[in-house]
Amino acid sequence: MISQLQTIKQRFGIIGISPKLDHALQKAIRVAPTDLTVLITGESGVGKEVFSKIIHQLSPRRHFPFLAINCGAIPPGTINSELFGHEKGAFTGATNERKGYFEVVNKGTIFLDEVSELPLDTQAYLLRVLETGEFIRVGSSTVRKTDVRVIAASNVDLLERVRQGKFREDLYYRLNIVPIYIPPLRERKEDIPILFRKFTRDCAEKYNAIPVKLTPEAEQMLINYYWPGNIRQLKNVAEQLCILSDNGIITPDQLRTVIPDIDRPLMPTPYQKSNGDKLEEREILYRLLFDMKKDIDALKHLIYRLIKENNLQLEQQHMPVLNAPSSDPPVIIEPQPTPSYSREPSKPVVEVQPKTIEVQPAETTLNLYEMEKQLIQKALKKHHGKRRAAAKELGISERTLYRKIKQYQLE
């Protein structure tokens, strides 16, 4: 399989050694010979269209047409006509009948990029094509047949769109038969220097420019950068530096002129909220700590209420006494009468009153760095120092974990 992967990479110009990239490529190779619908997910600029072409070229349909369609670039009023065709006079300006993409690409492959942008009525037509292979031209009543394989792609969470009522749930499950996730550039950092060298070398050959090299500090800055535009952005940066460099040596200062925000601290993948906003690492961590504090306080209040309602008394040697509000009265043990058969006159039973346990919510530290350090220590201890498993549990990359360990001197 490794030799096959290398062959496919060379054939389609894929650069990278990341295990996540190899996993996505392996899934594409395995699903290619089938007619199953594929849903490719990933951020903008990761190469979703390249994967769709790989699937088509490795399938039995490779001798038939392949068509890539950006669903977000077609106006909602004309997309049905574009996809399924129309009859003469179906609407103003329809002077002739027209075949749609699904009719033209019969027996081939259609790649629907940004499928989340399809209008709801078009989603219903697409669902019928996927299930039965039938469609109707705009302005016609004749049912037509087509044999097309559909590969869809989206850079947003389609399940979230389903929850918002903007995407059909039945269409989502019909498209998501074989999901392929393409990792963003920040999740395959080992590929960044390789891709940069490839892009600068190609640019130098094309424009007869001086080949450029990165200083170690500049290379580390590239690796630590967030890359919101992924490979597309990296290629743009590489070509700028190749053309604008005077001596072929790229320093951190030169990087800052091309990427002004390159000194931003390394962030994990931003969490996408339902309204489209993004939460950054600091906000996510603060929310996590705030939720932890609320849970701890709620637990303390619960224990305090149970102790008070059940009149529980715990000896001091078994449990430390916590500071208690002075307004709560002590628990009094009444003396019990001596039974009638006792020869001795009854005497009051004197018992030492143990201190009652009163729980008062303690202050919880919200020091960001101290809490982060403690979380990392706990994760490493839980997984016996295995950093990969600890990073997975913490939800961060191994490289980020290594940096944090060095930062907090946890070696």
Residue 231 CA to residue 44 CA, distance in Å, equals 9
Residue 107 CA to residue 268 CA, distance in Å, equals 42
Write the CATH number for 196: 1.10.8.60
Lowest mean pLDDT among 120-124, 153-157, 340-344, 384-388: 340-344
On whether residue 66 sits in a domain, the answer given is yes
HEC string for 390-404: HHHHHCCCHHHHHHH
Cα Rg of the chain, angstroms: 33
Residues 38 and 167 in one domain: yes
Q: What is the mean pLDDT of residues 95-112?
A: 95
Q: Phi/psi class of residue 45: alpha, beta or left (left: φ > 0; alpha: ψ in -120 to 50)?
A: left
Q: What is the mean pLDDT of residues 252-258?
A: 92
Q: Is the pLDDT of residue 361 over 50?
A: no
The pLDDT of residue 299: 79
268 neighbors 395 (Cβ within 8 angstroms)? yes
The pLDDT of residue 321: 43
* Domain coverage including residue 127: 2-183
Q: Is the pLDDT of residue 325 over 80?
A: no
On whether residue 88 sits in a domain, the answer given is yes
Residues 100 and 241 in one domain: no
The pLDDT of residue 263: 82
SS3 category, 232: helix
On whether residue 268 sits in a domain, the answer given is no
Q: Is the pLDDT of residue 161 over 90?
A: yes
183, 210, 243 - which closes a domain: 183
Residue 112 CA to residue 166 CA, distance in Å, equals 17
Residues 93 and 208 in one domain: no
Number of domains in the chain: 2
5 neighbors 17 (Cβ within 8 angstroms)? no
Q: Which residue has the tokens 């399924």?
A: 84
Q: What is the mean pLDDT of residues 338-350?
A: 45
pLDDT tens track for 267-309:
444 444 434 444 455 556 766 676 677 778 777 777 777 777 7
Q: How confident is the model at residue 375 (pLDDT cuts 50, 70, 90)?
A: confident
Q: How confident is the model at residue 148 (pLDDT cuts 50, 70, 90)?
A: very high
Q: How much is the mean pLDDT over the chain?
A: 82
The pLDDT of residue 367: 63
The pLDDT of residue 312: 64
The pLDDT of residue 239: 94
Residues 28 and 9 in one domain: yes
Residues 86 and 39 in one domain: yes
The pLDDT of residue 319: 45
On whether residue 397 sits in a domain, the answer given is no
Residues 176 and 192 in one domain: no
CA atoms within 13 A on the CB side of 402: 5
Q: Is the pLDDT of residue 347 over 70?
A: no
Higher-pLDDT residue of 135, 297: 135
Distances (CA, A) of 339 to 94, 346, 347, 352: 107, 8, 11, 22
Residue 157 CA to residue 114 CA, distance in Å, equals 11
Lowest mean pLDDT among 171-175, 181-185, 238-242, 404-408: 404-408
The pLDDT of residue 320: 45
Handedness of CA 396, 398, 399, 403 (dihedral sign): positive
What is 34-71 written as a DSSP string?
Answer: S---EEEE--TTS-HHHHHHHHHHTSGGGGS-EEEEEG
Write the CATH number for 171: 3.40.50.300
On whether residue 242 sits in a domain, the answer given is yes
Q: What are the residues facing 178 on neighbouring strands?
A: 38
The pLDDT of residue 278: 46
Residues 84 and 224 in one domain: no
Residues 248 and 123 in one domain: no
Residues 11 and 127 in one domain: yes
pLDDT tens track for 23-70:
999 999 999 999 999 999 999 999 999 999 999 999 999 999 999 999
Q: How confident is the model at residue 153 (pLDDT cuts 50, 70, 90)?
A: very high
258, 276, 310 - which closes a domain: 258
Residue 237 CA to residue 225 CA, distance in Å, equals 12
The pLDDT of residue 46: 94
84 neighbors 99 (Cβ within 8 angstroms)? no
259 neighbors 236 (Cβ within 8 angstroms)? no
Q: Is the pLDDT of residue 397 over 80?
A: yes
On whether residue 25 sits in a domain, the answer given is yes
Ranges of H-type helices in 225-350: 230-244, 252-258, 281-309
303 neighbors 296 (Cβ within 8 angstroms)? no
The pLDDT of residue 313: 59
Residues 150 and 105 in one domain: yes
239, 258, 277 - which closes a domain: 258
Residues 151 and 236 in one domain: no
Residues 199 and 155 in one domain: no
**Which 8-state DSSP code applies to residue 184?**
P
Q: Is the pLDDT of residue 83 over 70?
A: yes
On whether residue 353 sits in a domain, the answer given is no
On whether residue 303 sits in a domain, the answer given is no
Q: Which of 340, 189, 329, 349 is nearest to 267 (CA)?
A: 189
Q: How confident is the model at residue 184 (pLDDT cuts 50, 70, 90)?
A: very high
Please give the structure tokens belonging to residue 128: 């019928």
